[in-house]
Amino acid sequence: MRPMATAEDLSALVSKLGLDKQNKATLGRLIAHGNLGYAEEGADGRMHAQIRIPPDELVWDPAILVLPHGGDLDLEIFNDDQNTHCALFPSNGDSQFIWLPIHSRGTAALNLGGPGYYWYSSPIGNDEGRGLIGAIVVLGDVPQQARLDRPDQPRP
């Protein structure tokens, strides 16, 4: 019986097996095996980040975008691929959609209300199935006034 992979060596093993590339071990790419990046907060309190679609990879880069807290995020989106894709982002009020022609650049303004993670993707063809799924992770806590009146409790 082969040993199970630990979290530390999982990425290496995924790469070795070709699960992070198109048409290797699988037809597409397993989700959540792209890079991780951080949004930066500007002086005005708005957050900024860039995400890209590299050529022939069908993955968002970063696939996991980390925000320090909830609020407004200005995104710059680049499609460096030789195929047309799109993006559908979560945002309070309505999901934000943009076409991404070959070798294009666009922008999106998102508002996310609190901690947790939110999906984004390219919902055309089977882009989602082949790897164009990403997560936006919002750090931090809810506002103080929204917390329970009780002593601090243990967290996992």
Number of residues that bind other proteins (CB under 8 A): 58
Residue with tokens 């995924």: 14
Minimum distance, C-beta of residue 24 to other proteins, in the bound complex (Å): 24
Considering only residues 90 to 149 of the shown chain, the ones binding other proteins according to CB under 8 A are 90-121, 123, 128, 133, 135, 138, 141-143, 145-149
Lookup: tokens for 60: 């968002």
Tell me which residue of 59, 119, 50 sits closest to 85, measured CA to CA.
59
Q: In this complex, which beta carbon is closest to other proteins, that of residue 5 or of residue 142?
A: 142
Minimum distance, C-beta of residue 1 to other proteins, in the bound complex (Å): 29
Considering only residues 58 to 97 of the shown chain, the ones binding other proteins according to CB under 8 A are 75, 77-79, 87-97
- Tell me how far CA of residue 57 lies from CA of 24, 47, 60, 80, 137, in angstroms: 11, 27, 9, 10, 22
As to burial, measured by CB atoms within 10 angstroms (0-12 exposed, 13-18 middle, 19+ buried), residue 124 is middle
Given the rule CB under 8 A, which residues bind other proteins?
75, 77-79, 87-121, 123, 128, 133, 135, 138, 141-143, 145-151, 153-156
